[in-house]
Amino acid sequence: MRIGLVTDTYVPQVNGVSTIVRRIVDALGESGHDVAIIAPRYPEAGDRSILRELRVPSVPFPPYPAIRLSLPSFGAAARFLDDFRPDLVHVHTEGPLGLVGRRYALRRGLPLATSFHTDFPRYARHYGAPALAPLVWRWLVWFHGAAGLTFTPGEAIRDELRGHGLSSARVWGRGVNPRQFHPARRDAGWRRWLAGSDDSAIVLHVGRLAPEKNLETLIGAWKLARERLGQRATFTVAGEGPLAARFVAELPFVRQLGFLPRTSLASLYASCDLCVLPSHTETCGLVALEAMASGLPVIAANAGGLRESVRHEETGLLVAPHDAQAFAAAIESLVLDPARRFTLAAAAREWAFERDSAHEDAELIAQYTELVSRGGEQVTACAA
């Protein structure tokens, strides 16, 4: 097959969407399929391993410069894809490039797949604009309603999409590579640098430092846990975002590492002792799966995709999303009980094997094949 991928975020940018798209590129290539990708151009070097790649000029999004806004030309994108002759177009984002990919597939009568990675209606509420949520849903239903398949990584969000009339929604994209993220990557050098000794349990948070990640709760919980635990715990965060400066100001005891390449991130996970994730807007929570595959118990918000990945009292602990006291108590309980941490970590690692991305990748290719075989049976929609 010849698969065209279109996304408003891609490597070298580090986030859940770019990770999934990169994973699909690798899976298709390893299976002998041809791939072409349209993605933003970044100041940093792009992915030179893809021969058919159109990088579109982009500019920083002023409130959040790490996000790039692309300035696509439909004509240039169409010429690029026409030359490639895709059998199917898979659009991963609902932004400017996503619109171009959607429009191209519909105009050419090609099978269209989309992905729903980000819970924008909940983001609207989190950023103080709850009245926009119904309008956001109307936009999303229009956008994804044209697709023969819409992939989303969580069962709850799949059911929500179906409840809004998107009957083509399927669960895909919640796999992890347990060979890449593995306890054997534990690095004594990382531990010495972060904590100084093995006597201090390293508490980790990985993710974008932005309001939708419920960082108010994380800040409150870590302050309380630090007061109670003192030097028995070391707090570390990997990630950047608009709240990074506030994180430094309010939590001066935290080791802030910024964004890390995935090879370094795998070593960091394995070198820590537990992971804390308070976000309640996750469609999947890939970070939780990576941490569990690395042998860490996860303390997570009892909401969204995290609730589907973390099994309470089995692979980690689930806590009410906005309860900083409860998060602090959960951290304290695991820091002070290494035997319990070990039991949860072993079960977390075993659970990660059940989410092996290799199985999902084969399933995705089978879904592509089926959609291509159906050809023009997908929903028709206005290409404008």
What are 320-329's pLDDT values in tens digits? 999 999 999 9
- pLDDT at residue 123 in the model: 63
Based on the fold, state whether residues 238 and 100 are members of the same structural domain. Answer: no
What pLDDT, in 10s, does the model give residues 250-266? 999 999 999 888 889 99
pLDDT reading at 384 higher than 50: no
Q: For residue 383, tell me if it sits in a domain.
A: no
The angle, 0 to 180 degrees and rounded to 10, between the axes of the packed helices 286-293 and 262-271 is 60
CB 292, CB 177: distance < 8 Å: no
- pLDDT at residue 382 in the model: 38
Q: For residue 52, tell me if it sits in a domain.
A: yes
- pLDDT at residue 132 in the model: 78
pLDDT reading at 111 higher than 80: yes
Based on the fold, state whether residues 345 and 250 are members of the same structural domain. Answer: yes
Cα–Cα distances (Å) from 14 to 27, 240, 249, 262, in that order, read 19, 10, 24, 9
- pLDDT at residue 375 in the model: 80
What pLDDT, in 10s, does the model give residues 296-349? 999 999 998 899 999 999 999 999 999 999 999 999 999 999 999 999 999 999
- pLDDT at residue 379 in the model: 43
Arithmetic mean of pLDDT, 287-295: 96
pLDDT reading at 128 higher than 80: no
In whole numbers, what is the pLDDT of the chain averaged over residues?
91
Q: For residue 125, tell me if it sits in a domain.
A: yes
Q: Is the pTM of this model over 0.85?
A: yes
Overall domain count for the chain: 2
Based on the fold, state whether residues 310 and 336 are members of the same structural domain. Answer: yes
**CATH number for position 282:** 3.40.50.2000
Based on the fold, state whether residues 73 and 144 are members of the same structural domain. Answer: yes
Q: For residue 382, tell me if it sits in a domain.
A: no
Enumerate the β-bridge partners of residue 298: 275, 316
Q: For residue 192, tell me if it sits in a domain.
A: yes
Q: Report how far residue 222's alpha carbon sits from residue 203's, in angstroms, rounded to the nearest whole number.
A: 9
Based on the fold, state whether residues 361 and 345 are members of the same structural domain. Answer: no
Based on the fold, state whether residues 79 and 204 are members of the same structural domain. Answer: no
Based on the fold, state whether residues 34 and 162 are members of the same structural domain. Answer: yes
Could you tell me which residue, 376 or 350, shows the higher pLDDT? 350
- pLDDT at residue 381 in the model: 40
Burial of 38 (0-12, 13-18, 19+ CB in 10 A): buried
Pairing outcome for strands 88-91 and 112-115: parallel
Arithmetic mean of pLDDT, 98-108: 97
Based on the fold, state whether residues 334 and 370 are members of the same structural domain. Answer: no
- pLDDT at residue 283 in the model: 81
Domain span holding position 228: 183-354
CB 221, CB 324: distance < 8 Å: yes
